[in-house]
Amino acid sequence: MHRRELVLASGPALAAALVLAAGVSAQAALSAPETEARGTVQSTIEMVLGILRNPSLPQEAKRTQVEQIAYDRFDFELISRLVLAQNWNKLSPKQQTEFVQAFKKHLSATYRDTLDNFHDERITIENSRLEPKGDVTVMTVVHGAASETKVDYRMRKLPDGWRGIDVIVEGVSLVQNFRSQTQSILSSESPDQLIQRLRDKQIQDVAPKGKQS
Amino acid sequence: MSRALVSRVSSLAAACALATACASTPAPPGTVSDPWERVNRPVFAFNLKVDDYVLRPVAKGWTVITFEQLRDAIARFEENLRFPSRFVSNVGQAKPVGAASEVGRFVVNSTIGLAGFFDPATRFGIPRSDEDIGQMFGRWGIPPGPFWVIPLLGPSDPRDAVGMACDAVLNPLGWFVPFWGSLANGGVNIVNARARADKQIENARRSALDYYVFVRDAYIQMRDNAVRDSAPPTSGTGYDLYDTGATDLGVYDLPEEPKQEPKKNAPP
């Protein structure tokens, strides 16, 4: 006679069990590349958060160390090629090297500045997806006090391990965005002027540090 | 919602859809079309000046007289007020689970969450299903039309401008308080949102090589992604990382290329 109540009461529990089971099977269904790419993203997040949350580290050391992680975990040559796209071959080999160096410094500084605003946000890996050409997109969510931000990392397996080749924030791909910008600039300016713009940005990047000290 | 309101909303939505359909021109796939750039750029520069001389200083002052938890709470309050447009958009996109979830969030956060200033719904595991009217139009297949920088309002397009007007009408505050009340709330919302986003905007301006193109591309990508619900872009219509327009880019050869740089720095 309590069966109906039992069924009613077990409804939510059953639903929860189903969700759990779905979660577990989704985990089990992860392909090897996804598992590896997720592992790299997870360890990078832990490293960065470890640095940011270390109370004994001075701010300047945190910034340098986070920038170093960006250098290690992203492949800036591939990113540069993808950003410049059909314009890559319009640059001389010397200009290409200069662009990669300047862009690497600029992006790492951007990454570092973004993390400057971090307080006690949590970051969770929500999902991953196999992409064409063997890439994996690892989807994370940054949980803030009043909002959640979706940050996806496009990962590619390179000889020295999985490296980030694009960051997609709320659906906005960094590579695509800089591709639009460089295309627009190169339609009216020379490659040298583009590289000069990047270098001018670096002077601005360093400027706030000077003000603080 | 009363029946009169429902009919008002649905007729409005139909009018919006019609207006947008007339105003939009399809952009060629894969390229950013910006036919209004010559008008957009000066308006964009004007908006930046307004931000530099009015909005940002006011937001700085707001940051001084408030504290972070209060600003976050106000942001949650404003988000809670946008429930009707999220609900309509979920229903309009045939997302019953999303619509139900938003009803649940609204009920919980408006009551236990003290008029939405707190967000216990998230703690109870009721997920957001953030949709707006512009997204609903997009799901219906209405193209966004050209990128459009609106004076004082910022980046948009004809579809989203109509969507935004619908969102504003659907804000329940306007149904219950006099116009000046809504206006005051709108002012606080804008200043509060600007204050909360200050660091991100500063970083974006510092990171961008051409801030206008940065904002244009980010806006188009963000809206396209929102309409697709973060699903991967289907080939030919959206953006493909490797679709660089160059055949001899050498991207796929790159992994085989020996890397010189790390060897120099390697420890002995």
Residue B40 lies in a domain: yes
Judged by CB atoms closer than 8 Å, whether chains meet at B241 and A165 is answered as yes
Report residue B120 as tokens: 């216990």
| Type of residue found at B100 | A
Q: Does A165 touch chain B (CB under 8 A)?
A: yes
Identify whether B77 is part of a domain.
yes
The amino acid present at A210, given as its one-letter code, is G
CB B224: neighbour CB atoms within 10 A? 17
Distance CA A20, CA A13 (A): 10
pLDDT 10s digits, B4-62: 444 444 554 454 444 444 444 444 334 567 999 999 999 999 999 999 999 999 999 99
> Residue A74 carries which DSSP code?
B
> Which positions in chain A touch B68 (Cβ < 8 Å)?
145
Reported as a single tens digit per residue, the pLDDT across A175-192 is 999 999 999 999 999 999
Enumerate residues 102 to 141 of chain B having a beta carbon within 8 A of any beta carbon in chain A: 119, 128
Calculate what percentage of chain A has a pLDDT beyond 70: 80
For residue A97, the Cα-to-chain-centroid distance in whole angstroms is 23
B213/A180 Cβ within 8 A:
yes
Domain assignment present for B187: yes
Q: In what order do the strands lie in the sheet with A136-143?
A: A122-130, A136-143, A148-158, A161-169, A172-173
- Are the CB atoms for B246 and A89 separated by under 8 Å? yes
Please check the confidence at residue A11 and state whether its pLDDT lies above 80: no
Q: Count other C-beta atoms under 10 Å from residue B21's C-beta.
A: 17
The answer to whether B96 faces chain A, any CB pair under 8 Å, is no
Residues 1-60 of A with CB under 8 A from B: none
Residue A168 near residue B233, CB atoms below 8 Å: no
pLDDT score, position B165: 94
Report chain A residues whose CB lies below 8 A from the CB of B69: 145
B222 in contact with A, Cβ within 8 Å:
yes
Each residue's pLDDT, cut to its tens digit, for chain B (268 residues) gives 444 444 444 554 454 444 444 444 444 334 567 999 999 999 999 999 999 999 999 999 999 999 999 999 999 999 999 999 999 999 999 999 999 999 999 999 999 999 999 999 988 999 889 999 999 999 999 999 999 999 999 999 999 999 999 999 998 888 888 888 888 999 999 999 999 999 889 989 989 999 999 999 999 999 998 998 877 765 444 456 777 665 455 554 544 434 444 444 444 4
Strand partners, A141: A124, A150
Q: What is the CATH number of domain A6-205?
A: 3.10.450.710
Q: Tell which of A97, A139, A181 to mutate to test the B interface (max B CBs under 10 Å).
A: A181
Domain count, chain B: 1
Residue with the two structure tokens 């105003």: B23
Residue B11 belongs to a domain: yes
- Contact predicate A154/A168, CB 8 Å: yes
Residue with token string 């106000």: B74
Reduced to 3 states (helix: H, G, I; strand: E, B; else coil), residue B124 is coil
Express each pLDDT in A122-138 by its tens digit.
899 999 998 888 899 99
Contact in structure between B22 and B156 (CB atoms under 8 Å)? no
Partners of A136 in beta bridges: A130, A155
Q: Report pLDDT for A152.
A: 94
Q: How far apart are the first and last CA of chain A?
A: 76
Which structure tokens are listed for A170?
């709320």
Q: Closest partner residue to A146 among B75, B199, B208, by Cβ?
A: B75
The domain limits of chain A are 6-205
Q: Alpha helices of chain B — where are they, by DSSP H?
A: 3-23, 37-50, 56-65, 68-81, 83-92, 96-111, 120-123, 133-139, 158-169, 173-176, 179-196, 198-207, 211-227, 261-265
The interface pTM score, or ipTM, of the predicted complex is 0.78
Q: Which chain A residues are closer than 8 Å to B119 by Cβ?
A: 146
Range of the domain at B80: 3-23+31-227
Closest CA to B198 of B66, B30, B32: B66
